[in-house]
Structure 1
């Protein structure tokens, strides 16, 4: 009787092994679920970035305000007839 119980227990464990530790096991499903959640979060961030870039491209194609802002900030350009004042922070200027 004892041998029969051991054989049945071994058979039960051999049948359960693939379900818990095999290729399509519960542990693998949990790992893939965690990866899916992380990938969805990454996709959301990339989608927001792509939407911002699309809006910027649309502004550059249609409006002149974005082009003017970039010219002023990145290239230091000013309009004809404008006066440019640069204010220096006294704390950052070297003393002679």
Structure 2
């Protein structure tokens, strides 16, 4: 009787082993859930960045103000007829 009990316990343990420690175990499921949450956050961040870039592209295609602002800030350009003043700080 005792050997039958030990055999049944060994059988139950061998059947339960993959569920607890195998490829599809609950530990692996928890790891994949955390990776999924991180990936969703990254996707949201990238989606916001893509939307900002899309808005900038549309603005550059349709409006001259954005092109003018970019030319002034990044390239230092001025319109014809404008006077440019550059103030320099004196360093001690």
TM-score using structure 1 length: 0.86
Q: CA deviation at 1:83?
A: 1.2
Give the secondary structure class of the aligned counterpart of 2:77.
coil
Quote the offset at 1:3 in angstroms: 2.6
Report 1:1-96 matches (<5 A).
1-90=1-90, 93=91
**Bigger mean CA offset, 4-13 vs 51-60:** 4-13
Aligned length: 92
Could you tell me which runs of 5 or more consecutive residues in structure 2 were left unpaired when the two chains were aligned.
none
Alignment partners' CA distance in 2, 1:2 and 1:84: 99
SS of 1:55's equivalent?
helix
Q: Aligned to 1:82, what secondary structure does the other structure show? A: coil
Q: CA deviation at 1:4?
A: 2.9
TM score, norm. by length of structure 2: 0.90
Q: After superposition, what is the alpha-carbon deviation per residue over 1:16-57, rounded to whole angstroms, capped at 9, x for unaligned?
A: 101111222211111111111011000001000000000000
More helix by share: 2
Q: What CA distance in whole angstroms lies between the structure 2 residues aligned with 1:72 and 1:80?
A: 12
Specify every segment of 5 or more residues in structure 1 that has no aligned partner in the other structure, as ranges.
Answer: none
Distance in structure 2 (CA, Å) of the matches to 1:84 and 1:2: 99
